[in-house]
């Protein structure tokens, strides 16, 4: 399987999870999805990560986004491990964890890197849009926990990108000003958007669109 690139269709799959058997595309529906892998159950970094994702339940919902975790461990291990995650995080794990024992999902999404120490997945993240396209991918080593605040920030940026001819500047956060695409003239930008500021002919800021 070739590495997925931005703009590719996210591969579909059917798998057993802690929330029952699901078909990925059907489960995702017409919203956004975060698909992320973790190397193994009952491991320290993964326990903190899956707990953090659970704590962000309301943030995912606010963005019309579902989250799905993947591990090559079995369903019994997942169910037993959930209680540890919930104890550490202080919140229930309400999203599905895929039991990918045959490595179908890991191989579809190129989550196993042979040079990374063993045959478990690295810490992959895919943001998938309502059309089923891969819009962002991140890969972390097994030893470094992910920053899910950054993943939320990137999701916000992608949703603003889709709201109009906008991109986002460095370190952008919700509520800050956006960049008007070069395909829009300054005259048109001033007619269409609020607070247009020309810093350079190719760098024009505007107020972010309201939700």
- Mind listing the pLDDT tens digit for each residue in 91-106? 999 999 999 988 899 8
pTM of the model: 0.91
Instruction: Give yes or no: residues 84 and 134 share one domain.
Output: yes
pLDDT value, residue 116: 47
DSSP 163-182: TTTEE--TT--TTS-EEEPT
1/155 Cα distance (integer angstroms):
26
Q: Which residues are catalytic?
A: 46
If one counts the domains in the chain, the total is 2
Domain carrying residue 175: 163-206
Q: Give the other-Cβ count within 10 Å of 44's Cβ.
A: 9
Instruction: Give yes or no: residues 199 and 96 share one domain.
Output: no
Helices (H), the chain: 24-28, 44-55, 57-62, 75-89, 104-108, 148-161, 186-192
Instruction: Give yes or no: residues 76 and 179 share one domain.
Output: no
Instruction: Give yes or no: residues 89 and 134 share one domain.
Output: yes
pLDDT value, residue 211: 60
Residue 24: which CATH number? Answer: 3.40.30.10
Instruction: Give yes or no: residues 88 and 131 share one domain.
Output: yes
Low-confidence stretches of the chain (pLDDT < 50) are: 1, 116
Instruction: Give yes or no: residues 120 and 52 share one domain.
Output: yes
């Amino acid at each position: 399987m070739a590495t997925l690139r931005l703009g590719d269709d996210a591969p579909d799959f059917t798998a057993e999870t802690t929330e029952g058997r699901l078909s990925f595309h059907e489960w995702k529906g017409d919203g956004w999805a975060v698909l992320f892998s973790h190397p193994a159950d009952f491991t320290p970094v993964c326990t903190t990560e899956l707990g953090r994702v659970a704590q962000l339940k309301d943030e995912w919902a606010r963005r019309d986004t579902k989250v799905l975790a993947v591990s090559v461990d079995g369903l019994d291990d997942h169910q037993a491990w959930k209680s540890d995650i919930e104890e550490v995080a202080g919140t229930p794990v309400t999203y599905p964890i895929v039991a990918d024992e045959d490595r179908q999902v890991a191989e579809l999404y190129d989550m196993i890197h042979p040079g990374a120490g063993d045959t478990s997945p690295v810490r992959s993240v895919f943001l998938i849009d309502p059309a089923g396209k891969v819009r962002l991918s991140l890969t972390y080593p097994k030893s470094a926990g992910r920053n899910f605040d950054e993943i939320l920030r990137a999701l916000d940026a992608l949703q603003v990108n889709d709201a109009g001819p906008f991109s986002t500047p460095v370190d952008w956060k919700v509520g800050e000003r956006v960049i008007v695409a070069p395909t829009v003239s300054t005259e048109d930008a001033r007619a269409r958007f609020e607070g247009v500021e020309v810093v350079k002919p190719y760098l024009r800021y505007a107020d972010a669109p309201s939700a």
